[in-house]
Structure formats: C-alpha cells, structure tokens
Structure 1
C-alpha cells in the first residue's frame, strides 16, 4: 500500500520546504533576468533591422543574400517585412519577459 502511494506522488527536486525560486547563494538577485532579457531583446531587434537592411540593399543593388531555410520560407511568404517583423516581435517579447520576470521576483521578495 505504501508503495502505491509513492508511485502517485509527484517527483520533487531540491529542498521540499524551501521556496525553489530563492534556493541558492545567488538566487535572491532579481536584476540578472531583466538584464539578460533586455540585452537579448535589444540584440534581436538590432538583428531584425540588420537583416531588413541587408535584404533591402540586395534587392536595390540586385545582389544576393544568404538566408537560412526558415528565413527563406518567411521571405517567400511575406517578404522582408514579415521576416524582420517576426524577429522584431521576438525581441520585444524577450525584453518584456525580462522586465516581467524582474517585477515578479521583486514582488516575491517583498512578500516573502
């Protein structure tokens, strides 16, 4: 009977009595998630602009641009705007998630 109860329990890692968000020497710092999210988001927005500019210059000058298969499919579907737009939206999303996670951790820090 005891063996059956253990089979139905969910597996738990780490200290079961500690809040897993704050279980470590450096885990109470809230700013690294925001910085990483913002840097990655800004980097992706810059990459979106760079790809748009590179594709635009190739279209104007009549040159060629090397695209990955996913970029090529997006370019064939919607042109340079869809390709750059999706990259830009992903960048904005990462920046938002970094700030959102920072606020969530700060709220947990104040409540806890």
Structure 2
C-alpha cells in the first residue's frame, strides 16, 4: 500500500526545476498543480487543481482516486490511478495552511 509520504519524497527526489509556468506536457497529460498527497482510509490520494484536462476547465479543484503507483521520467513525476495518468506539477506550499484548509473541506 502506498503511503502519502512516499509520494512526496519520490516527487522531491525525481523532479528537476519544473518552472512555475509549467502548464502543458509534450504528451498532453493532465497536470495536477498545487497538489498535496493525503490519506483516505488506507490509501493515498492527491488533491489539487487540474490543468489541461479535456473535460474540466483549468484550475478546477479535484481529488484523484487511489494512487496505485508513481513513476518519474525526464525530470517529471507521474501518478497512476485506476483509470488515469497525471503529471504532478508544483506541490502546495506547506506554509499555505489556509489554502490547504479550503481544499480539504
């Protein structure tokens, strides 16, 4: 079972200077920005804002289903859920507790 801290540590070890204006990947994979990994029951999920999703407007808040695995390539980190593949953009700044509070309600 994946742990929340596993995802965050993996992200830190496998990203390379992703710019703040990173909105699109070469393969048009949906990006989750301002994300945080949280525990939901015994599983890890990601909460954040979508960018580049074909069915939702940019910036919409979302929560993934259970993260089954994560992988890295070319300085980018990806998560795989049951039906989707996402790229992780910039994580939520841990000092921004007000924003985190709003996202978890």
Name whichever structure is richer in strand by fraction: 2
- Normalised to the residue count of structure 2, the TM-score between the two structures is 0.21
Between 1 and 2, higher relative CO (CA 8 Å, sep ≥ 6) is seen in 1
- Normalised to the residue count of structure 1, the TM-score between the two structures is 0.20
